Structure 1
Amino acid sequence: MVCGVKQQTSQKPVASPAETREALLERAARDFAPIRRAFVQKKRDEADRSSRLAEFVTNGDVRGLRAYLFIVAVTSAETAESGWSTTLPGGVWARAFGTTENATPASARTAVTKVLKRLEERRLITYERPKGTWDIQVTLLREDGSLDPYTRPGNQNSDAYLKIPFELWRTGLIDKLSLPALAMLLTASCEPAFFELPTERMKEWYGWSPDTAERGFRELAKEGVLQVHKAYITAPLSPTGTAEVNRYVLLDPFIARPARKKAASTENAIEASGGAEAIGL
């Protein structure tokens, strides 16, 4: 006590991971993260169509995938010196990646370095510490793992890309979705509205198991991200002459913006034919 005044010993307020992410998303001055389809799947003429995403799935690296998606989301400007990069103090990266929970500051920063090292090994980024600082500069590479410099999809090029809306972070869904659900969200975001995706082809087409795909679809349906419609098609070689298929549709805000008009017309056509009904997985 000094001069009869009781000293305050309350802790200083510290920004939460959610507050840190929101500040960085606002700074990006857009509302979605553009990611080339090549990150999810290679082109049809490739013998092995699995791409970078399969490495996260088969290695069970949900933290790495969440970190990579966030880096893409907040890296919104290019400089002549460092390309498409974002430079932040290590502690800010730690909160953004969610490594600070139940961890000392030192261990949280070490976890960030481990995550970035894995992303660099997968040829998706490079990172370095600018000389004389505790900052970490993360620079994007092309999403296909070719080690080519990153360019903004849709910016004077015709590369197919998907859009991940910032609501994925702002609603906290990024922390709730498991690795199978995140992988299937990215996969579904590459597809047109009311798409069919036979899970038995997942290993051949994307590089992970049918069980992983099915678990991911069930979780997305449970979280209200995706709706499943049971439909019936003609099957000439079936004893009954008909077969049952699942058709999937992403719901707002996760449906790709350019496909919304198409999605509405497709949905109306299905409803008019009476050939499908929404189901739970």
Structure 2
Amino acid sequence: MTAKVKELILKFSCDDQPGIVASVASLFSLQGFNIRESSQFEDVTTRRFFMRTLLESVEGPKSLADVTTAFQSVAARYKMDWSLTDGSKKAKVMIAVSQWGHCLNELLNAWKRGTLPVDIVGVVSNHETMRKLTEWYEVPYHYLPVTKETKAEQEQQMLDLMQQTDTELLVLARYMQILSDNLCKQLEGRAINIHHSFLPGFKGAKPYHQAYDRGVKLIGATAHYVTAELDEGPIIEQEVERVTHANSPEELVEIGRNTEAVVLQRAVRWHAEHRVLLNGQKTVVFTR
């Protein structure tokens, strides 16, 4: 049966040229859609144009396939990289976690409250630590232990779970394993990670303790898409918190974890709402 939709989200990028917005608006007007929200941006350096539009049918539910077919002529004319999705459909998300649950709990709690527009289909972990928390939220928990020798097999199990549940996005909520290049390529644009990016000189163990020893005044976090280059993927969201000499290492850890949880939830939300568009190694994020 052909899917019927009342709301559509269009996002695209293409080389900037006259008439793009007019062509898009005209096409959807003819298809019986009204524009409820629209954001545009031109990268003046690359002359690339980006747009996200939320559309609502004023003639009742429409065939997604028919509307997609109708839009293809406009997309081809401007050589767009584009997607057209059902605005009411929630993205299916799998969360990966190790032994720290601050980001996991924030995501699960927002999802349970109904303020995070996703469908969390499961949690995978290389430890049992977060099982009780996950199952309290009545979410399936998949324990997938991993060693250097079993890494390829464990990652395949993760991919199999994603396929079985139609997972669209993998969220690394302090999952302390480096994904293989092969898995990164398979999940390109479909995996988000969180890390303490505002401590670039403090990599490895106990970064907040290193920061304390250096007397930093700002700590923060970055959510980014996962790539084969460790912590170098396109950035979706960042946040910082000011600290002082009076903060202990333990307080820095707590402040940092709170920041990580907030930043990751924002990134997941914006991805799920189709607000993030890739711009080479960067992103364009239409938050509103």
User: TM-score category by the smaller chain?
Assistant: under 0.3
Higher RCO (CA 8 Å, separation ≥ 6 residues): 1
Bigger fraction of residues in helix: 1
In the superposition, the TM-score normalised over structure 2's length comes to 0.23
In the superposition, the TM-score normalised over structure 1's length comes to 0.23
